[in-house]
């Protein structure tokens, strides 16, 4: 749902500025990642990963090279997802003279989650061995989630043959992922009761990665400028009342008076911009570049929004009168 100011009113300055800085940020994100990936520097983590597995002739070497390709592919698709949602966030905030009522929160949350996943996979501070294990964990979890999603489909909604084919496809994907993982010399570690797969391990050098991504904790660590936004944004994603009621200034039972909370808009925008900066920083350093200039532009854009957020909070101006 989008809302527009009544005739004679303009969108809040914070929203207009958000549209411009998000559009610029998305353009810079795409340009930076393209430049970094086309021009990897000598001795960078990208090059070291290539060398680690291209020259390995021991058992699992070829399999780890394949896992590395899957890891990079996952990372690339994830930052494309971040870019897509970042640009969409710009469009729903003033792109056509209107603004979103609530969806800016969920769009920003997607950008943040994508950013921490990219940062986790492309951290130059980990070795080539741990990178492929992390990539294998992400691949395994993806196959598991797809399987769970299909298994929850109501059988009455599909012809039995179609549902059987969907389940078979998921089973086949899970089997192929596990074959890829074990073929690379990785092994599954189990829970204490010995029944559930709990982690992926590499014997030499010793690497162990849990089969669970703690996105909330990762976000708090990797995006400290937005310490609680991921949790707050989840209230909109999951339609919790406490996250939705701020847009209605009427009492329960009365006629709704819907208006976006401009401070929430600002928080969503700041978080998405910081998430973009995290991707630029991690990807740039993975390819051996110094992304300081690009990251500083990201900080400057966030500062533009921050100034307007402070002004809005001090003035008590948090809502804008709107009509659907």
How confident is the model over 85-104, as pLDDT tens digits?
Answer: 999 999 999 988 889 999 99
Tens of pLDDT, residue by residue over 224-257, are 988 677 777 888 989 999 889 888 888 898 898 8
Task: Provide the percentage of residues in the chain whose pLDDT is more than 70.
Answer: 93
What's the total number of domains in the chain?
A: 1
Angle at 134 between CA 133 and CA 140, to 5 degrees: 85
Of 122, 143, 145, give the one whose Cα is nearest residue 71.
Answer: 122
> Is 183 a member of any domain?
yes
For the residues 177-196, what does the mean pLDDT come to? Answer: 92
For the residues 275-289, what does the mean pLDDT come to? Answer: 97
Residues spanned by the domain of 108: 11-290
> Is 24 a member of any domain?
yes
> Is 110 a member of any domain?
yes
Of 128, 102, 167, 156, give the one whose Cα is nearest residue 48.
Answer: 128
Tens of pLDDT, residue by residue over 23-49, are 999 999 999 999 999 999 999 999 999
Q: Of 314 and 49, which is predicted with more confidence? A: 49
What pLDDT shows up at residue 234? 85
What pLDDT shows up at residue 60? 66
Length of the chain: 324
> Is 218 a member of any domain?
yes
> Is 2 a member of any domain?
no
> Is 5 a member of any domain?
no
Q: How far apart are CA 256 and CA 78, in angstroms?
A: 38
> Is 274 a member of any domain?
yes
What pTM was estimated for this model as a whole? Answer: 0.90
Question: Do 274 and 225 form a contact (C-beta atoms < 8 A)?
Answer: yes
> Is 189 a member of any domain?
yes
Q: How far apart are CA 177 and CA 195, in angstroms?
A: 19
What pLDDT shows up at residue 200? 97
Q: Which residues pair with 99 in a beta bridge?
A: 3, 93
44-52: Cβ within 8 A, 24+ apart: 44/124, 44/286, 44/287, 44/288, 44/289, 45/122, 45/124, 45/285, 45/286, 45/287, 45/288, 46/286, 46/287, 46/288, 47/288, 48/128, 49/128, 49/131, 52/128, 52/129
């Amino acid at each position: 749902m989008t809302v527009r100011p009544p005739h004679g009113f303009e969108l809040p300055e914070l929203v207009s500025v958000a549209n411009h800085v998000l559009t610029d940020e998305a353009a810079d994100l795409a340009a930076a990642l393209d430049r970094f990936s086309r021009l990897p520097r000598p001795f960078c983590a990208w090059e070291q990963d290539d060398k680690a597995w291209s020259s390995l002739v021991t058992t699992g070497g070829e399999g780890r090279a394949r896992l590395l390709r899957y890891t990079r592919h996952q990372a690339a698709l994830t930052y494309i997802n971040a870019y897509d949602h970042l640009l969409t966030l710009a469009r729903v905030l003033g792109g056509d003279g209107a603004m979103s009522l609530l969806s800016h929160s969920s769009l920003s949350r997607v950008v943040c989650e994508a950013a921490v996943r990219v940062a986790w996979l492309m951290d130059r501070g980990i070795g080539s061995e741990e990178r492929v294990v992390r990539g294998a964990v992400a691949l395994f979890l993806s196959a598991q989630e797809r399987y769970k999603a299909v298994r929850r489909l109501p059988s009455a909604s599909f012809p039995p043959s179609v549902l059987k084919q969907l389940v078979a496809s998921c089973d086949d994907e899970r089997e192929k992922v596990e074959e890829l993982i074990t073929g690379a010399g990785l092994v599954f570690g189990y829970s204490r009761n010995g029944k559930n797969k709990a982690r992926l391990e590499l014997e030499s050098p010793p690497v162990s990665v849990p089969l669970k991504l703690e996105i909330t904790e990762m976000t708090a660590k990797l995006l400290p400028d937005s310490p609680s936004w991921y949790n707050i944004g989840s209230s909109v994603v999951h339609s919790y009342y406490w996250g939705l009621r701020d847009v209605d200034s009427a009492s329960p039972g009365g006629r709704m008076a819907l208006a976006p909370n401009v401070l929430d808009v600002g928080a969503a925008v700041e978080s998405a911009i910081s998430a973009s900066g995290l991707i630029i920083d991690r990807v740039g350093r993975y390819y051996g570049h110094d992304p300081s200039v690009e990251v500083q532009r990201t900080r400057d854009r966030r500062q533009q929004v921050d100034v307007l957020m402070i002004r809005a909070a001090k003035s008590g101006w948090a809502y804008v009168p709107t009509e659907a």
